[in-house]
């Protein structure tokens, strides 16, 4: 009898709703004043009790306002989404309180008490982050040890790339083909020439000086460019009817997929020179680039193979019955469909490639993460690891999140066409 009396129902809404709201509001008032105003309004209670008051009051309040079919739109929505049962109400409160508690020190460290102005470590006087560190080292973090006066070359190489990609989206279909061919086969040489110099009046800059975020982009771009076709060939090879080609492909793919990238990089840096004739020297960056490309190509091959296997047999038979040969069939009929099927997988592999680039620091190449390692061990800037890695994490996060969002959009766009 009593339990039905205490149960919040619609006909007693006028009692329960205000009562519950007061409880909830009090709970949040308590925790907010506690966090932001440093004042404990339940301080007169024993410490442990006072600590749990917001949770207890919020819980009671949420119980009281859990009125089914109340007719009030906002309340119904609230109950459905965050307050559907006792357990859910508890979790909701817990999460909200943790967020409220965490946001204040986080904001203080990131912005409110952080230092932005200045030019040395001594300018960082607050308790928060020392963003001066990033500001002072920004050029190094972006360009590595690339000479300051030559940095316009890196900039112009990237601006040219983005401009070309941008234009490629807008030019009419007819020219687009040539544009893309130019972008894929001619631009890389222009870009490399611009970066390394040595002719056309440009000063030679050795690859050991390349670094920072721009190196991340260079390596990612080249590896993506090469690993994709190699991966497609390997996938076709693995499904070939010719046994020698099939087994070689399988062996190649499984070999790369079975070992960690770090050992592959060691191999490229330490072991590979032993395999070359005495006196020949291949630039370390190129060796590393080849290693990353082959490594990611193996993963790409498995993704593409998934797409090839998912295509119904009828597609192959139809193409053959039209008199198409092996290459025409694959290029015109099979691959366009298969690749479309595995766009998420391709995007994930490319994402993994970008996320793998920081690893090159193990062989002495310094991209963003490596440069931060260098900067934080500078005697003038000791103790800046947190700022550095938070910054690098943020940069990589933005890049990777944008990539994954773009791939999701692409997938949606292409799937509606079917």
Partner 1 sequence: MNLKKLNIENKKIRDFIPQALTVLALLSVIFYFATNAQINMGNRGISFGFGFLSQEASFDIAFSLIEFDGSYSYGRAFLVGLLNTILVSIIGIFLATIIGVIVGVARLSSNYLIAKTAEWYVEIFRNIPLILQIFFWYFAALRALPSPENAINFYDISYLTIKGWYIPKFVWTNFDIFFYSLILAFISIYFLNRYAKKQREEFGKILPTFTLSLGILISIPLLSFLLLGVSLSFNYPELKQLSETSYTYVNGVSIIPELIALALALSMYTATFIAENVRAGVMGVGKGQKEAAASIGLNKGQILKLVVMPQALRIIIPPTTNQYLNLTKNSSLAAAIAYPDMVLVFAKTALMQTGRAIEIISITMLTYLSLSISISILMNWYNKKMAIKEK
- Contacting residues toward partner 1, per CB under 8 A: 81-82, 84, 88, 91-92, 95-96, 241-245, 248, 254-255, 257-260, 262-263, 266-267, 270-271, 274-278, 351, 355-359, 361-362, 369, 372-373, 376, 385-386, 389-390, 392-393, 396-397, 400-401, 404
Closest CA to 134 of 122, 142, 145: 142
Nearer to partner 1, 231 or 370 (CB): 370
Closest CA to 43 of 94, 22, 34, 59: 34
Least separation in angstroms between CB 246 and partner 1: 10
8 Å CB contact between 379 and 387: no
Kindly calculate the radius of gyration of the chain based on its CA atoms and give it in whole angstroms. Answer: 30
Q: Is the dihedral of CA 360, 139, 168, 179 positive or negative?
A: negative
Nearer to partner 1, 117 or 274 (CB): 274
Nearer to partner 1, 196 or 407 (CB): 407
- From CA 178, how far away is CA 232, in angstroms rounded? 22
8 Å CB contact between 163 and 171: no
Nearer to partner 1, 276 or 310 (CB): 276
Nearer to partner 1, 106 or 276 (CB): 276
Least separation in angstroms between CB 258 and partner 1: 4
Residue 131: how many other CB atoms lie within 10 Å: 20
Least separation in angstroms between CB 65 and partner 1: 16
Nearer to partner 1, 271 or 286 (CB): 271
Q: What stretches of 115-172 show up as alpha helix (H) in DSSP?
A: 132-143, 151-170
Nearer to partner 1, 187 or 391 (CB): 391
Least separation in angstroms between CB 89 and partner 1: 9
- From CA 322, how far away is CA 316, in angstroms rounded? 10
Altogether, the residues listed in the chain come to a count of 418
Least separation in angstroms between CB 367 and partner 1: 10
Tokens of 201: 């009046």
Nearer to partner 1, 185 or 406 (CB): 406
Least separation in angstroms between CB 82 and partner 1: 5
Least separation in angstroms between CB 269 and partner 1: 9
Mapped onto helix, strand or coil, the DSSP state of residue 130 is strand
Least separation in angstroms between CB 112 and partner 1: 19
Closest CA to 294 of 274, 272, 264: 264
Q: Is the dihedral of CA 230, 233, 239, 243 positive or negative?
A: negative
């Amino acid at each position: 009898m009593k339990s039905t009396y205490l149960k919040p129902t619609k006909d007693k809404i006028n009692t329960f709703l205000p009562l519950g709201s007061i409880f909830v509001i009090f709970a949040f008032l308590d925790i907010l004043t506690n966090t932001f105003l440093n004042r404990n309004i339940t301080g007169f209670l024993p410490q442990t009790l006072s600590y749990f008051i917001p949770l207890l009051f919020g819980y009671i309040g949420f119980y009281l306002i859990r009125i089914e079919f109340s007719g009030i739109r906002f309340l119904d929505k609230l109950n459905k989404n965050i307050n559907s049962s006792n357990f859910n109400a508890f979790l909701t409160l817990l999460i909200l309180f943790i967020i409220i508690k965490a946001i204040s020190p986080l904001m203080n460290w990131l912005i409110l008490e952080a230092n932005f102005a200045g030019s040395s470590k001594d300018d960082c006087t607050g308790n928060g982050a020392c963003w001066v560190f990033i500001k002072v080292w920004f050029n190094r973090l972006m360009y590595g040890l690339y000479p300051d006066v030559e940095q316009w070359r890196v900039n112009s190489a990237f601006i040219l790339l983005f401009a070309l990609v941008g234009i490629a989206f807008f030019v009419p279909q007819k020219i687009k083909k040539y544009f893309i061919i130019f972008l894929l086969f001619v631009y890389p040489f222009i870009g490399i020439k611009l970066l390394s110099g040595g002719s056309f009046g440009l000063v030679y800059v050795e690859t050991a000086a390349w670094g920072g975020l721009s190196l991340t982009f260079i390596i990612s771009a080249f590896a993506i460019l090469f690993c994709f076709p190699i991966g497609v060939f390997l996938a076709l090879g693995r499904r070939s009817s010719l046994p020698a080609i099939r087994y070689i492909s399988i062996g190649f793919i499984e070999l790369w997929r079975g070992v960690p990238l770090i050992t592959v990089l060691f191999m490229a840096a330490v072991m590979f020179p032993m395999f070359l004739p005495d006196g020949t020297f291949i630039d370390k960056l190129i060796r590393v680039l080849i290693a990353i490309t082959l490594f990611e190509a193996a993963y790409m091959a498995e993704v593409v193979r998934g797409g090839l296997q998912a295509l119904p047999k009828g597609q192959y038979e139809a193409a053959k019955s039209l008199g198409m040969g092996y290459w025409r069939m694959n290029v015109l009929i099979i691959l366009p469909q298969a690749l479309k099927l595995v766009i998420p997988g391709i995007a994930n592999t490319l994402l993994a490639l970008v996320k793998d680039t920081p690893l090159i620091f193990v062989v002495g190449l310094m991209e963003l993460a490596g440069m931060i390692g260098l900067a934080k061990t500078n005697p003038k800037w000791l103790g800046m690891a947190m700022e550095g890695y938070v910054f690098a994490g943020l940069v990589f996060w933005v890049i990777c999140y944008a990539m994954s969002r773009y791939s999701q959009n692409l997938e949606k766009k292409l799937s509606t066409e079917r």
